[in-house]
Amino acid sequence: MRRIFLLSPASCGGKRADLLLNERGRFDLALRVQARPGAPLGEVFAFLSGLYFRGKLAYAQAFASPPARLPGALVITTSRGLMLPEQPVTLADLREFAAVDLHHANAAYRGPLERDTRLVAQAIGARCEVVLLGSVASDKYVAVLSDVFGARLRFPSAFVGRGDMSRGGLMLRCVRERRELDYVAVAGAVRHGARPPRLPRLSGSAG
């Protein structure tokens, strides 16, 4: 079975986003998003989200098994549909992302995402799973993706009940141990649950 991953986006609001959106920022990543062509989306979202997006990106890169000539990981955005993690983004792009409400009923978000997911669905064929590395507790991703991918849409069952930081730490641990998580179909799955026991810290690792 072939497998690709869809990564939920990092928030473009908050204190870490302010560090990038402030044009007076002089650290390396800020300087790169201030100029063209920009900085890779995956790197920018890892800075904005920290452990969670870093875990998603590392996990997808470690375990993706896409059909030939297709990417193994794509990132959901609020206004541009799906983008490659290596695609450069600038300050203008980040401001656009921040201005669009990520809600499944918002046409500015839903329209581009439906467009791109339909193209992906056609390209990957029937024998490729699509694994969402993001929240399934609400409909903000599931309502759009399920309509397109149907039974092919899956998620890690270990995500149920975990917060963002716990998910990020779990995925980084899996990459380190070369251990892939179990996936279940979104359709009919239990999407809410009790918080699981806290992960023990790994020596020599922040995650």
- Residues of the chain above pLDDT 90, percent: 79
Assign 185 to helix, strand or coil. Answer: strand
Residues 102-149 pLDDT 10s: 999 999 999 999 999 999 999 999 999 999 999 998 899 999 999 999
- Measured on CA atoms in the order 83, 86, 91, 94, is the torsion positive or negative? positive
Fold of 2-10+50-86+104-185: Rossmann fold (3.40.50)
The answer to whether residue 202 scores a pLDDT higher than 60 is no
* Sequence-distant (≥ 6) Cβ neighbours of residue 116 within 8 angstroms: 74, 81, 82
* Sequence-distant (≥ 6) Cβ neighbours of residue 189 within 8 angstroms: 136, 155, 157
Contact call for residues 95 and 21 (beta carbons, < 8 A): yes
Q: Which amino acid is at 25?
A: G
Give residue 22's Cα distance to chain centre.
24
* Sequence-distant (≥ 6) Cβ neighbours of residue 185 within 8 angstroms: 151, 153, 154
The answer to whether residue 200 scores a pLDDT higher than 80 is no
As a whole number of angstroms, the distance between CA 161 and CA 153 comes to 19
Can you give the pLDDT at residue 22?
84
Question: In the chain, what are the domain boundaries?
Answer: 2-10+50-86+104-185
Can you give the pLDDT at residue 8?
97
Torsion of CA 41, 43, 48, 50, to 10 degrees: 140
Local structure of residue 81 (DSSP, 8 states): -
Residue whose tokens read 């046409």: 107
Contact call for residues 52 and 168 (beta carbons, < 8 A): yes
Confidence tier at 23 by pLDDT (50, 70, 90): confident
Can you give the pLDDT at residue 203?
46
Question: Edge-to-edge strand order for the sheet containing 153-156?
Answer: 82-83, 73-76, 2-7, 128-133, 153-156, 183-185
As a whole number of angstroms, the distance between CA 60 and CA 127 comes to 18
**Per-residue DSSP letters for 116-151?**
HHHHHHHHH-TTEEEEEES--SSHHHHHHHHHHHGG
As a whole number of angstroms, the distance between CA 102 and CA 172 comes to 26
**Average pLDDT for residues 40-67, to the nearest whole number?**
96
